[in-house]
A and B are shown apart, each in its own frame.
Chain A
Amino acid sequence: MTLAARGLSYAYLPGRPVIQEVSFALVPGEVVFLLGANGSGKTTLIECLGGLRVPAEGEVVLDGRPVRSCSAAARARSIGYVPQLHQLAFGFSAWEVVLMGRAPHVGWLSRPGRADRAAAADALRTLGLWDLAGRTFPTLSGGEQRLVLIARGLAQRVRYLLLDEPDAHLDPANQHRVLAAAQGLARAGIGVVVTTHNPNNALLYADRVMVLAGGRSLVDGAPAAVLTPEVLSAAYGIPFEVVGDGQGPRAFLPRLGDHRARSLTSSEAESASGSARPHSPSSRASSAATANGA
C-alpha cells in the first residue's frame, strides 16, 4: 500500500511550473517531512496528493489505482488533509469540527450516526482533547486548533494524512505537541506527510525527508543522512552550519557571520529560492545529496 506521486507537475501561471516532475511515495506508518523555501512547491505538492488540485502532468496513485479514477468520497476515506491556516466563518465547536471528518463516511442525504460520533470521540480522546470538545474553535489557542484539525483527520479514518505546516506560528512546546501527535499517528499505522520550514523539526520527528528546491526534488532519504548544511544552503540560498553531538546532527543554524549572509539582498534571496529557476545546488551540495530526484 502506498500513496505515490509519479512525475507531478503543476503551474498556477502558464509556463511557470511550481512543481516539476516530482515523484514521491508514502507508506502507512512513516512520517515524511517536506522541506523547502517559500514557493518551492511544498503546499502545491500536498494539495495535489490530497486531491485539492489536479496536476497538469503525472498522476497520483493511491494503493495502485490512479486517484483520478476514485470517487471524491472514496479518495477522502483514504487521504486526509489538514490545512495550514483555518479561518472558520462561524463559531463551530471543536466537537462539530472533528465530526465533520466523518463526511466521506456519511451518505449524501444522511447525517452522522452513532458510529460517526464514536469515531469523533475516539479521535478527540486519542489526542487528549476531550475536555475541549465543547469549546468554540476560534477561542482555542493556535496549538489546540492544529490538534483539533489533526483530530478531524483521525476521525476521517484515513491511511494517509497530509499536514501543511502544522508547526507554523507555534511556540516550541506546542510545536512538540503537534509533531509528536503526528508521529504518534504514524506509529498507529497512518502514513503522515508534514511540510515545515524548520529543518530541526525534521531531524527530531521525521522518518524520511524530502527537500524541494525550485519545484524539484533535491534529496529524499533518512534525515540524518540527507540533511546537510550543503543541502540546506542549496534549498534556502543562505549558508548553514550544523551542530552535532557525536551521534549525528542535532540542529542547523544559518551561518550569519558569513559575509554572504550579511550582504544578502532580498533580490538575491528571491533568485536563490524562487520557483522560476531550476535548482542549482553547489557542487558540494550535489555530492552530499544521496538520492536526488528519487
Chain B
Amino acid sequence: MNPRRTALAWGLLVLPVPLLFLSLMLGRYGIGPERVWAALFGGDVPDVVRALILRVRLPRALAAAVVGANLSVAGAAFQGVFRNPLVESRILGVSSGAGLGAAVALLAGGGLILQPLAFAVGLSAAGLVALIGWAFGGGLLVLVVGGVLVDSFFSAILGLIKYVADPLGTLPAITYWLLGGLSTVRWADLLPLGVASAIGLAFLLSVRWRLNLLALGEGEATALGVRVGRFRLAVIAVGTLLTAAAVSVSGVVGWVGLIVPHAARALVGPDHMYLIPAAVGLGASVVLLLDTLARTALPTEIPLGVLTGLIGVPVFLVLFMRLLRRQGGWG
C-alpha cells in the first residue's frame, strides 16, 4: 500500500548489517575494511587480527545487535498490548528480576551460573506478575500495578544482597553488572540468546499486523474475532522471553525499550506491520552504535547502561515533542 514506508521499514531492518561491519573495524586497534572482510571470510590475515575480529569483536557486536533488537521490539509490542506509550520492556519486572538473579550468582561466586540465573529469575519476576494479574482478574491495569510491585520487591531484595555483599569484591561486581555492558561477551553466551531471540522475533514478525488489533482495546478486538486473552498472553510471554534473554547477557540497559519504539514510530508510523521490523532494525543499530562508542570513545570502557541513559533522555525529549506537535496528541 505504502511503498515509501515499506522501503523504510525493511531498510531499517537491514541497517545493522553495514553497522556491524563498521563496528568490527573500530577499536583501540583499528582494522581496515579489506582486512575485516578477509578475517571474516577466510582471507589472508595475521592470526592475531583474525582472533581479535572473530573471538572478541564479532561476538560482542552480534550480542549488541541482538540485545538492542530484543529490547526495542519487546518495548514496541508491550506498548501496543498495554495501549500505553509509556510502557517499556521492563514493565513486568524482568530487569529487576534479572538483576537479582545476577546479584545472587555473583554473591555465590559468579561464573557460569550468572547468565542462566539472571534469565531464570527475570522470567520468574514476569511469571509472578502474571500470577498477580490472574489472581486479581487479569486486567491490564492489574498487570501494570503487579509489575510495579514486583519490581519494587525484587529491588528491595537486591538492596539487601548489596548490603551484605563484600564491599571490596562482590559489591562492585554487582554494581558494574547492573550498569550494563557487553565487555565480557563470548560465543558461548550467544547461543541461548540467539535461540530465544530467533523464536521470539519470528513470532512477533509473523503476527505483527494482528498486534494492531490488540492496540484497539479488548472490546473491539473481540468483536473483530480476536481471542484477546490468549493472544495478549502469547505476546507478553514472547516479549518477556526476549527481554530476559537480552538483559541476562547485557545487564540492565535502560531506555532502549522505551525510546527506540517511539523513534521507529516517528519514522514509519504506528502500524505494527511496519513498526515491528523498523523497531528490530533500529534497536539493533542503536545499541550496536552505542556499544561501539562505549568501548572506543574513552581509553576506559563506558558502561552501556550509562551511555543509553545519557544519550537516550535528550533524544526521547526531542522525539516526544516532535510527536506531540505533529499529531496534536499521542502518536
Cβ contact within 8 Å between B269 and A81? no
User: Does A13 make an interface contact (CB < 8 A)?
Assistant: no
| Contact B219 A91, beta carbon cutoff 8 Å | no
- Max count, chain B CB within 10 A of own CB: residue among A81, A96, A101, A111: A96
Partner of B271 from A47, A86, A92 at Cβ < 8 Å: A92
B270's closest neighbor in chain A, by CB? A90
Please tell me if A279 contacts chain B, counting CB pairs below 8 Å. Answer: no
Query: Once the chains bind, are B85 and A156 in contact (CB under 8 Å)?
Result: no
Chain-B contact segment, one of A69-77, A123-131, A185-193, A284-292: A69-77
Q: Which residues of A contact B219 (CB under 8 A)?
A: 47, 52, 81, 83
In the complex with contacts A91-B327, A117-B1, A96-B224 CB distance below 8 A: no
A156 to B224, CA, bound (A): 8
Whether A139 contacts B328 in the complex (CB less than 8 A), given A72-B222, A90-B215, comes out as yes
A104→B84 CA distance, assembly (Å): 25
Complex CA–CA separation, A77 to B216 (angstroms): 18
A138 touches which of B217, B224, B225, B328 (Cβ 8 Å): B328
Is A200 among interface residues, defined by CB-CB distance under 8 A? no
Asked whether, in the complex, the Cβ of B225 is within 8 Å of the Cβ of A88, the reply is no
A100:B216 contact, CB within 8 angstroms:
yes
Are A72 and B226 CB-contacts (below 8 A) given A96-B212, A111-B209, A139-B327?
Answer: yes
How many Å lie between the Cα of A151 and that of B208 in the bound state? 23
Report the minimum CB–CB distance from A186 to chain B (whole Å).
19
* B178 contacts partner chain A, Cβ-Cβ < 8 Å: no
State A139–B328 Cα separation when bound (angstroms): 8
- 6 A-B pairs whose Cβ atoms sit less than 8 Å apart in the complex: A52-B222, A72-B222, A87-B217, A89-B83, A89-B85, A100-B224
Report Cα–Cα, A108/B225, bound state, in Å. Answer: 11
- A71 surroundings in chain B (CB, below 8 A): 225
Q: Which residues of B contact A74 (CB under 8 A)?
A: 225
Are A91 and B223 neighbours in the complex by a CB distance under 8 Å?
Answer: no
Interface centre among A91, A108, A117, A156 (most CB of B within 10 A): A91
Residues of B close to A93: CB separation below 8 A = 269, 271
B220 to A: closest C-beta gap in Å: 6
Contact of A89 among B209, B227, B273, B330 (CB under 8 A): B330
Partner of B329, one of A47, A100, A138: A138
User: Is A2 on the interface with B (CB-CB < 8 A)?
Assistant: no
A86 to B224, CA, bound (A): 14
Bound form: Cα–Cα A80–B223 in Å: 6
Provide the residues of chain A in CB contact with B327, threshold 8 Å: 91, 136, 138-139
Contacts of B222 in A (CB 8 A): 51-52, 72
Query: Taking the complex as formed, is B175 at the interface, i.e. its CB lies under 8 A from any CB of chain A?
Result: no
How many chain-B residues does the 8 Å CB contact rule pick out? 34
Mask of B230-264 contacts with A, CB within 8 angstroms, 1/0: 00000000000000000000000000000000000
Chain A, residues 88-122, CB within 8 Å of chain B (1/0): the string is: 11111101100011011010111110000100000
Q: Is B85 touching A77 in the complex (CB atoms < 8 A)?
A: no
A41 interfacial contact with B, CB 8 Å = no
Instruction: Let me know if A73 and B225 touch, CB within 8 A.
Output: yes
Closest 9 CB pairs of A and B: A76-B225, A104-B225, A90-B270, A81-B223, A89-B83, A73-B225, A103-B224, A91-B331, A111-B209
At the interface, yes or no: B213 with Cβ under 8 Å from chain A? Answer: yes
Q: Is B210 an interface residue (CB 8 A)?
A: yes
Nearest CB of B to A110, in Å:
8
Q: Is A50 an interface residue, CB under 8 A from the partner?
A: yes
Quick check: is B207 within 8 A (CB to CB) of the other chain? yes
Interface residues of B in 198-218 (CB under 8 A from A): 206-210, 212-213, 215-217
Q: Which residue of A lies closest to B83 (CB)?
A: A89
- In contact, A100 and B212 (Cβ under 8 angstroms): yes
Report the bound CA distance from A206 to B79 in whole Å.
41
Residues of B within 8 A of A50 (CB): 223
How far is the CB of A136 from the nearest CB of chain B, in Å? Answer: 6
Among A72, A79, A81, the one with the most B-chain Cβ atoms within 10 Å of its Cβ is A72
B206: chain A residues within 8 A (beta carbon): 109
A222-246 CB contacts (< 8 Å) to partner B: none
Interface string of A27-57 (1 = CB under 8 A from B): 0000000000000000000010011100000
- Note all chain B residues with C-beta closer than 8 A to A106: 209-210
Determine how close the nearest CB of chain B comes to the CB of A75; give it in whole angstroms: 7
B331 CB to closest chain A CB (Å) equals 4
B265 within 8 A of A: yes
Report B-chain residues with C-beta under 8 Å of the C-beta of A83: 219-220, 223
In the complex, the answer to whether B209 meets A90 with C-beta atoms within 8 Å is no
Closest-by-CB residue of B relative to A77 is B225
Closest to A112 in B: B209
- Provided the pairs A93-B269, A95-B1, A103-B210 are in contact, do residues A88 and B216 lie with their beta carbons within 8 angstroms? yes
Docked complex: B1-33 residues within 8 A CB-CB of A: 1
CB-defined contacts of A96 to chain B, threshold 8 Å: 212, 270-271
**Contact between chains at B224 and A76 (CB < 8 Å):** yes
A106 CA to B209 CA, complexed, in Å: 10
Q: Which residues of A contact B329 (CB under 8 A)?
A: 91, 138
**A92 surroundings in chain B (CB, below 8 A):** 212, 215, 270-271
Contact yes or no, B226 A103, CB < 8 A: yes
Partner pick for A111 among B83, B208, B223, CB 8 A cutoff: B208
Closest residue of chain A to B1, judged by CB? A117
- Interfacial chain A residues near B85, Cβ < 8 Å: 89-90
| Contact in complex: A75, B331 (CB < 8 Å) | no
Q: Which residues of B84-126 have CB atoms within 8 Å of chain A's CB atoms?
A: 84-85
Least CB distance, A294 to chain B, in whole angstroms: 26
